Structure formats: C-alpha cells, structure tokens
Amino acid sequence: MERSLVENLTEKIVKKQAKVAIIGIGYVGLPLAVEIARNNYDTIGIDIDKNKVQAVNRGQSFIGDVSTTELAAVVKKGKLRATTKYEVCRDADIINICVPTPFTPSKDPDVSYIIEAGKSIARYFKPGKLIILRSTTYPETTEKILLPILEATGYKVGKDFYLSFTPERIDPGNRVWTTRTTPVVVGGVTPKCTELTALFYRQFVDKVVPVSSPRVAEMSKLLENIFRSVNIALVNELARMCDRMGNIDIWEVINAAATKPFGFMPFYPGPGIGGHCILIDPYYLAWKAREFDFHSNFIELAAETNEAMPYFVVDRLFEILGTNGVAAKKAKVLIIGAAFKRNVEDTRHSPAIKVMELLEGKVQKIDYVDPYVPEIQINGKKFRAKVLTPGLIRQADCVLILTDHSCFDYDLILRESKLILDTRNAINRRRVKKLYTLGYRRQ
C-alpha cells in the first residue's frame, strides 16, 4: 500500500497534478501560494480572515512581498483561489501549514493555531496526503504536537500519510532572497516524508536542503534568528555603553570593525527589534529548554536587552528635551517610521509602536509619518499617518527617527527640525548640534 501511495503522490508532484492547500495566507502563506500557483499547481489558500480571502479572490495583494500584478495573474489563470472552508483539505494532496505562532503575555509559546490547523486537517483526512508545517516553532512540535493529532485518525505516518517540517525564511522587503531563491530546509518524520517534501519543493525552489529530522529543521530555524538576536543585543549594549562613556561613536566603531575581512559580521543598534521571528524565537527555545532542566540564560538575556531598547530610547528623548528646556508633558514629538524595519509595511512587534505606546500620555502630542503604514492603534487610540512637510516638522519639539525608510527626505528633516534623535543613524552628521544619535554622546 505504501508503495502505491508514494508512487501516486510522486507522479502528481512531477506532473504538476497535485492539489495544494495553504493554511494561513499571511506574510508566509501568500508568497508561498503565489509561487506554487505560478508553477502550475492548483492551489487554494485557507484563512479565517474573510477580508484576506476576498482580497486574494479579487487578485488584490495586501502584502508588500507579493505584487497585485503577480497575484492577479495566477488568480486569473485559475491556479489560485482562497476560502474560509477547511473542507477543501479533503481533496488536497499537499497541505502547507503557515499559521501564526505568537507567545503569551508571560512569554510562553502559543501553538494553538497549529493545533487547530491539525484538527481541521484531521476532520477531512484520507490516505496519501503530504502535510508540511512551515510555522516557526520549538523543537518536537511536529512530532509531539501535530503528529499525534493526525495519527488519531487511525492512519500512520510514513505508511498512510507523510509529515515534514520546513521552516519559513521570509525576509520582508528583500527582493533578492525570495520564496524561489532562498534555500529550503526539509526535515521529515520518516525518510520517505523527507524525500516527498524535497521533491515537491524542488519544483519551485532553487535549492532544497534535507536534514535528518523535523527536530533538526525546527532547531535550525531558531538558531538563525537567535544568532541575529544575540548579535543585535551585543551592539545595543555597546551602544548604551558608548552613550554612557561619551565621545565614542558606536556607528564609527562598527564601521571600523567591519573592515576586517574575516571573523566579523556587522550588526547595528536600533530602538529594538521587531517582526515575527527574531523577538519570539529566543523565548520559544528558552521555554522548551526548561523541559530538560536547561536554562538558556545567555539567549534570554539577549532578548531582554533588545526588549529594553524602546525604554532606553524614551529615556534618552526625555533627557534631550529637558536639556533643551522642553518639559516632556508639553512636548510635541514627530515619529519618523512605524514599521519594524525599513521599506516594508509590516508593523508586527515594531519597536516604533512600542516607543509610541510608552510616549502616549507622557507627551502633549504625537504625530507619525510612514507612507507604508497609513494607520495604527496605540493604547486603543487610532493614529493616522501624516505627510512629511516642512510645517509638520517645524511644529515638533523633537523629531524621533525610528524606522529609516529610504523614501524619507532626511535633508528636509535636518533643515526644518528643532531637535532630532536619530536611532537608525539615517542622517549621520555628527557636527550638527541639534542632532542626537543612539550610541554617541558629544562631550
């Protein structure tokens, strides 16, 4: 029986006859769905958000990494559609799970979306399916959380169905490393699971890297992001140290160190870290490590250091205002950038949002400018983006640069502002007295 199921699915994959479902059509699922559909697989996106489903079926993209032109083309061709109904899993040969994996207020993993997706798949299960978990999570989620749900149907992995983990590696706004060009790591529960998953991804991804198990694939994803978290925390701590010492510019220090052609990779300080993975992943691994009586102090300390940066930025802002004779309660602050990184619309865990939450109610007025983010909620209060004009800049007691989009006119900001706190080194002109930066304090 196993041979016939494997041969049947292999043939469908190679001949582009496999029907593919994507559960979750957000920042991970939609680019994946479009790439699969572009390679002539009949693809269907499943999401509980009716607005996303309707947008996909109209061919209207709501994610910066997928153009409306790209989406509309595969929708018009009949290769991609979306629905809120999990019943379509019954006819799907391959199901990719791309649901969110947030953490709780106490920093514990929340895999409830994975559990719900697994239960929904199980309700419409039949032999011969390939299930691929893409959501970032802690090691053993695939085998100890998802697998038991699927095997509760009475079917057995490696015999009746196939299950793998392939971590997403989305870098919002990156035009070079896309769904197709970014290598995919594949870890199957059995060798046949790995083989079928690798075969499928090789149809539309340039490079596939098989590993020995889902646990290795899950841990590799965490390592990638914790590596960034730890190194960002290092430069954030050095930035605060340079600020304390005075007359040592952390940006100049990093640029000097980066001239070493080996053994060094530059990372840069900022107002904090954002996005889905880098902030969350250290806590996922730390939580799992405690199950084995292992305390990942180093990893957790890095996460705490990064999460402290918005508070440091606010304290520094208040200090700058006070030094220049402006009381915080009477200050008007103009925020430049609300997204979590430059040139994207993504505000998930954005440090700019956190800074605004800390400032709201403590200053007289907050305005923000971000052409990528037209509207945000701060402590339950709705803010709409303003247009960057000389008048808007002149009204502010201090301009606070939190996201360095390339579209901003930094010469205009420098010329018209009273005070500037630049947390991204976007302006980089140290001799201007009204300009303050993170990690440098003039003596």
In CATH terms, the fold of domain 225-437 is Rossmann fold (3.40.50)
Q: How far is CA 324 from CA 37, 137, 305, 320, 356, in A?
A: 57, 47, 28, 6, 21
Written as one string, the DSSP assignment of 68-100 is HHHHHHHHHTTSEEEES-GGGGGT-SEEEE---
Kind and range of the H or E run holding 148 = helix 147-151
Q: Is-catalytic flag, 242? A: no
* Residue entry with tokens 């899950």: 218
Domain ranges of the chain: 2-211, 225-437
pLDDT per residue, tens digit, the chain (443 aa), is 446 899 999 999 999 999 999 999 999 999 999 999 999 999 999 999 999 999 999 999 999 889 999 999 999 999 999 999 999 999 999 999 999 998 888 888 999 999 999 999 999 999 999 999 999 999 999 999 999 999 999 999 999 999 999 999 988 888 899 999 999 999 999 999 999 999 999 999 999 999 999 999 999 999 999 999 999 999 999 999 999 998 899 999 999 999 999 999 999 999 999 887 777 888 889 889 999 999 899 999 999 999 999 999 999 999 999 999 999 999 999 999 999 999 999 999 999 999 999 999 999 999 999 999 999 999 989 999 999 999 999 999 999 999 999 999 999 999 999 999 999 999 988 888 999 999 998 77
Catalytic residue among 98, 242, 277, 398: 277
Domain 2-211 shares a fold with domain 225-437: yes
pLDDT score, position 104: 83
CATH of domain 2-211: 3.40.50.720
What confidence score (pLDDT) does residue 414 get? 96
Question: Would you state the pLDDT for residue 106?
Answer: 82
Check residue 26 and give its pLDDT: 94
pTM of the model: 0.91
- Which helix (H) or strand (E) segment holds residue 376: the answer is strand 375-378
pLDDT of residue 3: 60
In which order are the strands placed within the sheet that holds 19-23? Answer: 80-83, 42-46, 19-23, 94-97, 130-133, 162-165, 184-188, 208-211
CA 235 to CA 272: how far, in whole Å? 11
Tell me, what DSSP letter sits at residue 389? -
Separation between Cα atoms, residue 136 and residue 115, nearest integer Å? 14
